[in-house]
Each structure stands twice: as structure tokens, then as C-alpha cells.
């Protein structure tokens, strides 16, 4: 019989601060870029008309992970979470289960951390101000991670004024409209992707834009004309070109693989790209299981050290 801890979302957020999430996420992109961590494509299980489930496996550093996570957009109207599910962490050498970990906390940390890592790597050195378009759970964690990385003050924009106000108050930032948010040095978009929020006419020289909302086919946060003006980066080409923001450019025939650099290649020095001052960089973040693995590795280590209190169950 196997005994494993079941680690709640609150326990994850109490144990892993944004700085740790950023370090670990960076580690994941580096390892994956060097081919040391592995990740088969995620699998979608359609559950129309409600949403879909996603099974996301990854392996690295002696651990194997499978995340099972929902995207049920209609849940918001029903007062239910859009993203929920759990991670099972296993030993990659024996197959032994090591932990069950709540997954929306892990998703928030790694999603927010990816936005911060992309800014550290792709934004101008002097970039400072932040615009957040979409102040829901993952928008808020992006803001927290950017703040932890030294960015800000920021402008928080959301169609729900109370969401923007809460985030602005928490971080000592301010509320603004979408146009104001998208003028900042670093812009993060985390909207449902139903209409473009980054317009070609609103781009500012030298900006960095992290696009986090488009995580399935048909979602769009950036006008095609705006994409053409940016230097393009992605977390992973297969996901980004199939279901990320860049999929729209691929379908339109304006974006091809050679136009897009994986973030890990920049981190590892495997890309010849260097930033020029006026360049606008765009990072398409679709969300990778290796990022989840990096956060869960930290959670599991913390639990082993006695730093997380969690019920242990027998399977």
C-alpha cells in the first residue's frame, strides 16, 4: 500500500512564493530547452458545451507528473472555478506515486511566473511599468510575479472594475482602461480571448508583451496586424502553433516556425537573437506541463523537508 500526501491549493500558495516560482519556472524552460526534461503533447477531452479537460504529462529530474485540469469558461457565470483539477507526482524510476497536489494553485504560479521570466529575458533592461489586461486569477498572479521580479508600478484593466480594483489595491498599483494598460513597458494579457485586446495601433516602441489568454484553438488576444510588428517568442512551438495566440498567424499564413524562437533557446544561449531598442517582443505562453513539474518539484521538496502540513492517505 502506498501512502502519499494530498496537498491543498492553499498549502501550495503558502509554501511557494512568487520568487521561488520564477526561479523554478526558469529552470524548467532551461532544462526543456536542452532536451533534459520531456513533455508529450497535452490531450484534450472535450466536454461540450461546458468546456474541456486537459491531461498534461511531463518528466524530469527523476520525477514524472500528470496534470488533469479543466477549462470550463461557463463556470464563472455559475460561480464555479474555470480551472480546477489536480496533479499526480510520481517517481520516474519506480513509478511510485509521491503526491497529489491541487492544480489551480500550481497553474497560477507557473503561469504568472512564465510572464515574469519572459519579461526578464525579452523586455528592455530599463523596462519598468506594467499593464495587466484581465485581472482574474492568472492575471493577478502574473502581476504578483512581475512585482516580485522588480517590475511596477502597474496599470490594472478589467471589464469587471472590482477585479482591477482589488489587484491594484493589493500591489499599490492603479486602475486604468485597456488602452492605458497596453501602453506600458511590459504588458500581460489574460483575457478569455474572445476579441483582440492588443491592437496594432496601440503598440509602443520597445514594449514587451506576454500573451497568456489563448490556450485553445480559436482564441485571440492580439490583432494579426499587431503580431506582424513584433519579434515572436513562444514557450513551445507545437502548442503555440496549434492552439496558442500564434495559431491565428499560422492560419493566416503570416507566421511560420522560422519566425518564432522558443524561450528556452534564448535562456540557454541557443538563439542568436539580441534585443534592439525599438523592437517589440511578444511571448506566446500556452502553458506547459514542464512548468507544472517545476512548481510541483518545489512543493514536494518543501513537503519532504516538513514545510507543508498535508493529510497522508493510503492508496
Would you say 49 or 269 has its CB closer to a copy of itself?
49
Out of 18, 33, 85, 196, name the contact with a copy of itself by CB under 8 A: 85
- Under 8 Å between Cβ of 217 and 242: yes
Q: Does 217 bind a copy of itself (CB under 8 A)?
A: no
Out of 23, 30, 97, 238, name the contact with a copy of itself by CB under 8 A: 97
Grid look-up 483539477 returns: 85
- Apex 196 CA angle, 190 and 199, nearest 5: 110
CA–CA separation, 178 and 57 (whole Å): 36
Out of 23, 30, 53, 280, name the contact with a copy of itself by CB under 8 A: 53
- Under 8 Å between Cβ of 199 and 280: no
CA–CA separation, 61 and 266 (whole Å): 22
- Apex 161 CA angle, 159 and 166, nearest 5: 125
Catalytic annotation, residues: 67
Cis? peptide before 39, omega within 30° of 0: no
Out of 30, 66, 224, 238, name the contact with a copy of itself by CB under 8 A: 66
In the numeric block, which cell numbers belong to residue 299? Answer: 512543493
Q: Does 224 bind a copy of itself (CB under 8 A)?
A: no
Question: What does the DSSP 8-state code read for residue 11?
Answer: H
- Under 8 Å between Cβ of 60 and 69: no
CB of 205 to a copy of itself, least distance (A): 42
E strand or H helix that includes residue 69: strand 63-71
Out of 40, 150, 161, 218, name the contact with a copy of itself by CB under 8 A: 40
Would you say 86 or 215 has its CB closer to a copy of itself?
86
Q: Does 272 bind a copy of itself (CB under 8 A)?
A: no
Q: Does 77 bind a copy of itself (CB under 8 A)?
A: no
CB of 314 to a copy of itself, least distance (A): 5
Q: Does 277 bind a copy of itself (CB under 8 A)?
A: no
Which range binds a copy of itself by CB under 8 A, 93-101, 146-154, 230-238, 301-309?
93-101
- In this structure, what are the phi and psi dihedrals at residue 209, rounded to the nearest 5 degrees? -120, 125
Residues at the interface with a copy of itself (CB under 8 A) = 1-2, 6, 8-10, 38, 40-41, 43-47, 50-51, 53, 55, 57-59, 64, 66, 68, 70, 72, 75, 78, 80-81, 84-86, 88, 90, 92-97, 100, 102, 311, 313-315
Amino acid at each position: 500500500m502506498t501512502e502519499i500526501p494530498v496537498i491543498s491549493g492553499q498549502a501550495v500558495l503558502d509554501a511557494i512564493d512568487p520568487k521561488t516560482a520564477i526561479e523554478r519556472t526558469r529552470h524548467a524552460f532551461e532544462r526543456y530547452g536542452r532536451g533534459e526534461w520531456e513533455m508529450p503533447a497535452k490531450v484534450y477531452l472535450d466536454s461540450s458545451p461546458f468546456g474541456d479537460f486537459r491531461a498534461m504529462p511531463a518528466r524530469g529530474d527523476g520525477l514524472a507528473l500528470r496534470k488533469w485540469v479543466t477549462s470550463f469558461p461557463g463556470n464563472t457565470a455559475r460561480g464555479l472555478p474555470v480551472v480546477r483539477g489536480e496533479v499526480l507526482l510520481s517517481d520516474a524510476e519506480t513509478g511510485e506515486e509521491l503526491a497529489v497536489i491541487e492544480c489551480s494553485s500550481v497553474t497560477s504560479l507557473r503561469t504568472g511566473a512564465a510572464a515574469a521570466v519572459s519579461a526578464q529575458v525579452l523586455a528592455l533592461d530599463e523596462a519598468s511599468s506594467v499593464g495587466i489586461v484581465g485581472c482574474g486569477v492568472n492575471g493577478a498572479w502574473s502581476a504578483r510575479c512581475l512585482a516580485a521580479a522588480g517590475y511596477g508600478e502597474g496599470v490594472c484593466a478589467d471589464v469587471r472594475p472590482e477585479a482591477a480594483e482589488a489587484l491594484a489595491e493589493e500591489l499599490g498599483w492603479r486602475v486604468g482602461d485597456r488602452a492605458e494598460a497596453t501602453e506600458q513597458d511590459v504588458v500581460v494579457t489574460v483575457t478569455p480571448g474572445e476579441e483582440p485586446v492588443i491592437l496594432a495601433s496601440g503598440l509602443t516602441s520597445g514594449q514587451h508583451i506576454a500573451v497568456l489568454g489563448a490556450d485553445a484553438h480559436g482564441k485571440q488576444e492580439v490583432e494579426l496586424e499587431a503580431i506582424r510588428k513584433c519579434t515572436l517568442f513562444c514557450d513551445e512551438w507545437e502548442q503555440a502553433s496549434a492552439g496558442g495566440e500564434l495559431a491565428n498567424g499560422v492560419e493566416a499564413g503570416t507566421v511560420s516556425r522560422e519566425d518564432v524562437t522558443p524561450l528556452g533557446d534564448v535562456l540557454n544561449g541557443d538563439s542568436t537573437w539580441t534585443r534592439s531598442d525599438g523592437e517589440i517582443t511578444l511571448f506566446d505562453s500556452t502553458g506547459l506541463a514542464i512548468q507544472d513539474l517545476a512548481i510541483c518539484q518545489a512543493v514536494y521538496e518543501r513537503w519532504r523537508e516538513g514545510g507543508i502540513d498535508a493529510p497522508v492517505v493510503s492508496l
